[in-house]
Amino acid sequence: MDKKELGTIIHSVLKPLGFKKKGLVWTLTGEEISERLWLQKSCYGDFYYFHYDYVINAIQEYPSQTHVFVETEDDQESYRDLMTVLNMENDILDESRKRKLTDYLETYIVPKTGMIKTEQQLKEDLIRRKWAPITLKTIEYLHLPEHFNSKEDMIKG
Protein backbone atom coordinates (compact mmCIF):
# COMPACT_ATOMS: atom_id res chain seq x y z
CA MET A 1 0.00 0.00 0.00
CA ASP A 2 1.34 3.44 -0.85
CA LYS A 3 0.58 6.87 0.63
CA LYS A 4 -2.00 7.58 -2.08
CA GLU A 5 -4.01 4.50 -1.10
CA LEU A 6 -3.60 5.41 2.57
CA GLY A 7 -4.96 8.88 1.80
CA THR A 8 -7.90 7.42 -0.11
CA ILE A 9 -8.93 5.32 2.89
CA ILE A 10 -8.78 8.29 5.27
CA HIS A 11 -10.57 10.54 2.78
CA SER A 12 -13.42 8.05 2.39
CA VAL A 13 -14.14 8.34 6.13
CA LEU A 14 -13.54 12.08 6.60
CA LYS A 15 -15.06 13.58 3.44
CA PRO A 16 -18.69 12.85 4.48
CA LEU A 17 -17.97 14.76 7.73
CA GLY A 18 -16.99 17.88 5.77
CA PHE A 19 -13.20 17.57 5.85
CA LYS A 20 -11.27 19.00 2.90
CA LYS A 21 -8.09 17.25 1.75
CA LYS A 22 -4.80 18.81 0.73
CA GLY A 23 -1.92 16.36 0.41
CA LEU A 24 -1.95 14.23 3.55
CA VAL A 25 -3.83 16.85 5.58
CA TRP A 26 -7.60 16.86 6.13
CA THR A 27 -9.17 20.01 7.60
CA LEU A 28 -12.64 20.69 8.93
CA THR A 29 -12.84 24.48 9.07
CA GLY A 30 -15.03 25.99 11.75
CA GLU A 31 -15.71 29.62 12.66
CA GLU A 32 -13.43 29.66 15.72
CA ILE A 33 -11.78 26.23 15.79
CA SER A 34 -10.70 24.03 12.92
CA GLU A 35 -9.92 20.35 13.20
CA ARG A 36 -7.04 18.82 11.33
CA LEU A 37 -5.96 15.25 10.78
CA TRP A 38 -2.57 14.83 9.18
CA LEU A 39 -0.02 12.19 8.45
CA GLN A 40 3.67 12.90 8.70
CA LYS A 41 6.11 10.62 6.90
CA SER A 42 9.02 9.43 8.98
CA CYS A 43 12.52 10.35 7.88
CA TYR A 44 13.69 6.93 9.04
CA GLY A 45 11.57 4.57 7.01
CA ASP A 46 8.25 3.93 5.34
CA PHE A 47 6.24 4.86 8.41
CA TYR A 48 3.64 7.57 9.04
CA TYR A 49 2.91 9.46 12.24
CA PHE A 50 -0.76 10.16 12.92
CA HIS A 51 -1.83 13.59 14.23
CA TYR A 52 -5.29 14.93 15.00
CA ASP A 53 -5.53 18.43 16.40
CA TYR A 54 -7.49 21.62 16.88
CA VAL A 55 -6.32 24.89 15.38
CA ILE A 56 -7.43 28.22 16.81
CA ASN A 57 -8.38 30.19 13.72
CA ALA A 58 -7.78 33.62 15.30
CA ILE A 59 -4.09 32.94 15.85
CA GLN A 60 -2.51 33.92 12.57
CA GLU A 61 0.54 31.70 12.65
CA TYR A 62 1.43 28.46 11.01
CA PRO A 63 -1.04 25.98 12.61
CA SER A 64 1.60 23.53 13.80
CA GLN A 65 2.92 26.27 16.07
CA THR A 66 -0.40 26.78 17.85
CA HIS A 67 -2.28 23.52 17.56
CA VAL A 68 -3.79 21.48 20.40
CA PHE A 69 -3.87 17.71 20.05
CA VAL A 70 -7.27 16.04 20.33
CA GLU A 71 -7.38 13.27 22.91
CA THR A 72 -7.71 10.13 20.78
CA GLU A 73 -5.57 7.71 22.71
CA ASP A 74 -8.27 6.52 25.12
CA ASP A 75 -7.40 2.96 24.24
CA GLN A 76 -3.62 2.56 24.12
CA GLU A 77 -3.81 -0.88 22.51
CA SER A 78 -5.86 0.48 19.59
CA TYR A 79 -3.43 3.36 19.16
CA ARG A 80 -0.48 0.92 19.08
CA ASP A 81 -2.38 -1.10 16.47
CA LEU A 82 -2.81 2.08 14.41
CA MET A 83 0.93 2.72 14.56
CA THR A 84 1.49 -0.83 13.29
CA VAL A 85 -0.96 -0.20 10.44
CA LEU A 86 0.88 3.00 9.48
CA ASN A 87 4.21 1.18 9.34
CA MET A 88 4.33 0.26 5.67
CA GLU A 89 7.41 -1.90 6.20
CA ASN A 90 5.49 -4.62 8.03
CA ASP A 91 3.71 -7.56 6.40
CA ILE A 92 0.08 -6.58 6.98
CA LEU A 93 -2.09 -7.43 3.99
CA ASP A 94 -3.55 -4.34 2.31
CA GLU A 95 -7.14 -5.43 2.99
CA SER A 96 -6.40 -5.91 6.69
CA ARG A 97 -4.56 -2.57 6.83
CA LYS A 98 -7.55 -0.84 5.21
CA ARG A 99 -10.03 -2.45 7.61
CA LYS A 100 -7.98 -1.62 10.72
CA LEU A 101 -7.41 1.99 9.66
CA THR A 102 -11.10 2.47 8.83
CA ASP A 103 -12.12 0.90 12.15
CA TYR A 104 -9.77 3.20 14.08
CA LEU A 105 -11.06 6.32 12.32
CA GLU A 106 -14.70 5.35 12.83
CA THR A 107 -14.18 4.41 16.48
CA TYR A 108 -11.85 7.17 17.71
CA ILE A 109 -12.00 10.09 15.26
CA VAL A 110 -15.55 10.27 13.91
CA PRO A 111 -17.16 10.53 17.40
CA LYS A 112 -14.84 13.41 18.36
CA THR A 113 -15.42 15.37 15.15
CA GLY A 114 -17.28 18.62 15.75
CA MET A 115 -17.27 18.29 19.55
CA ILE A 116 -15.17 21.44 20.07
CA LYS A 117 -16.43 24.39 18.03
CA THR A 118 -15.52 27.44 20.10
CA GLU A 119 -12.47 28.76 21.89
CA GLN A 120 -14.41 28.54 25.18
CA GLN A 121 -15.16 24.86 24.60
CA LEU A 122 -11.49 24.25 23.83
CA LYS A 123 -10.47 26.08 27.00
CA GLU A 124 -12.89 24.00 29.08
CA ASP A 125 -11.60 20.80 27.48
CA LEU A 126 -8.01 21.74 28.26
CA ILE A 127 -8.82 22.63 31.87
CA ARG A 128 -10.54 19.25 32.22
CA ARG A 129 -7.40 17.56 30.88
CA LYS A 130 -5.16 19.57 33.27
CA TRP A 131 -2.22 19.19 30.87
CA ALA A 132 -1.65 19.17 27.13
CA PRO A 133 1.42 19.74 24.99
CA ILE A 134 0.62 23.28 23.83
CA THR A 135 2.58 26.46 23.36
CA LEU A 136 2.83 29.32 25.81
CA LYS A 137 1.17 31.52 23.17
CA THR A 138 -1.88 29.22 23.17
CA ILE A 139 -2.00 29.18 26.97
CA GLU A 140 -1.92 32.98 27.03
CA TYR A 141 -4.43 33.35 24.19
CA LEU A 142 -6.99 31.11 25.91
CA HIS A 143 -6.25 32.69 29.32
CA LEU A 144 -5.52 29.32 30.88
CA PRO A 145 -4.28 29.27 34.47
CA GLU A 146 -0.57 30.04 34.76
CA HIS A 147 0.07 26.63 36.26
CA PHE A 148 -1.59 24.83 33.32
CA ASN A 149 1.72 23.41 32.05
CA SER A 150 4.91 23.27 34.02
CA LYS A 151 7.93 24.82 32.32
CA GLU A 152 9.52 21.39 31.91
CA ASP A 153 6.53 20.05 30.00
CA MET A 154 5.74 23.10 27.90
CA ILE A 155 6.62 23.26 24.26
CA LYS A 156 8.27 26.64 23.87
CA GLY A 157 6.16 29.01 21.79
What's the rounded mean pLDDT across residues 52-78? Answer: 74
Closest CA relative to residue 141, chosen from 78, 72, 54, 46: 54
User: In the predicted model, what is the mean pLDDT of the chain?
Assistant: 85
Under DSSP, the state recorded for 14 is H
Query: pLDDT digits over 113-143, tens only?
Result: 999 999 999 999 888 877 777 888 888 899 9
pLDDT tens, position by position, 25-38 = 999 999 999 999 99
**Which pLDDT belongs to residue 151?**
47
SS3 24: coil
Which residues, in sequence order, are CB contacts of 78 under 8 Å at separation 6+? 104, 107, 108
